[in-house]
Chain A
Amino acid sequence: MSGIIISLIASIGFGSSSVFAKISMLKMKSGTTTLISLITSTIATLIVSMIFTQQNEYKKINIEIWILLFWIAILTYFFGRLLNYTSVQHIGVEKATPLIGTTPLFASITAILFMDEKITMPLMVGTILIIIGIILITRKKTNAINS
């Protein structure tokens, strides 16, 4: 039960992040909002990591780990968060966030292409549902249900 509650908190955190970023970008550029959000995320996460990390674990970080960390940073924060916030600025939270929510699909495709993972029936059905969802969100003619 505690796992589900903590996962819900994660969902609220991820979901509200785009909303706060959208309001922040009313007067600031997406690059500025990304930089500010990254600085605060870094401080908060490093403080939490200090609580959960033992001293001897820091000594295990070698050059191979630093290189992987560099590529993760490029993909997740330079391409991921910067483009996430910039897309929110251009098409809004309601359209950008569900499209960015397709991330696990791209993770599965990458794993199939580079990690020899197999294509399964749930993956195919899930992909079809996602594609229909994307078509619904991105098609031009829409009916507003609120003003």
Chain B
Amino acid sequence: MQLTPKTNQNKKTFGYVLAFSSAIGYGTGTVLTKHLINIFPNPILVSGLSLLIGTLIISIFYIKNSIQDFIKNKPRKELLYGILAGLSSALGVNSLFIGLKFAPVSVVSPVANTYPLVAIIVMKIFFGKLEKITLETILGSILIVSGITMITIYTS
């Protein structure tokens, strides 16, 4: 299963479509998660079990490709960064749920949703050579985070 555009010209458009599709996936998943937590109020266990099912589903589609990827490219440092991506994502989810035990959603959610700015700062400080960061991107990110903060404060 490959998610690759046929030409380089379509690469950016394809990337934007994927980013919004991902946001829709996360957004609808969040609504279902809220519904489930009303029935079964253990968010960390809900997160752990949904991750387990998600891993099994992704394995069905990608285990063969992943093995070929390892044999062909022999990634070592990249494998470590893949593990770090998973660990930092788990740190994010678990901290979010634990944070909700100490403070209301109206405080926790806006702070946690500043992560796009954190990503840009981390990218700029540690891996600045990999990507160019533009003024429009920084301003756009600040506007998005402000909008999300407004929505989460008033809907929580």
Contact = CB atoms under 8 A, between A and B. Distances in A.
Question: Which of B33, B45, B73, B119 lies at the interface centre, i.e. has the most chain A CB atoms within 10 A of its CB?
Answer: B119
Interface residues of B, number: 124
Would you call the interface of chain B mostly helix, strand, loop, or mixed? helix
A70 to B, nearest CB: 6
A93 B42 contact: no
B103 to A, nearest CB: 2
B91 to A, nearest CB: 4
Contact of B147 (A33, A97, A128, A137): A128
A133 B143 contact: yes
Given A72-B33, A103-B30, A123-B154, A98 B82 contact: no
Interface string B39-71: 110101111111111110111011101100110
A9 B20 CA distance: 25
A3 B95 CA distance: 9
Interface in B16-30: 16, 18-30
Contacts of B53: 69-70, 73
Interface of B: 1, 3, 5, 11-12, 14-16, 18-33, 35-36, 39-40, 42, 44-55, 57-59, 61-63, 65-66, 69-70, 73, 75, 77-79, 81-96, 98-100, 102-104, 107-109, 111-124, 126-128, 130-155
28 contacts: A2-B102, A6-B98, A10-B96, A10-B99, A13-B115, A15-B117, A24-B81, A28-B78, A32-B65, A33-B85, A36-B85, A38-B51, A40-B82, A46-B48, A57-B42, A69-B50, A73-B53, A75-B32, A79-B21, A90-B14, A91-B15, A95-B16, A110-B28, A122-B154, A125-B147, A129-B143, A133-B146, A137-B141
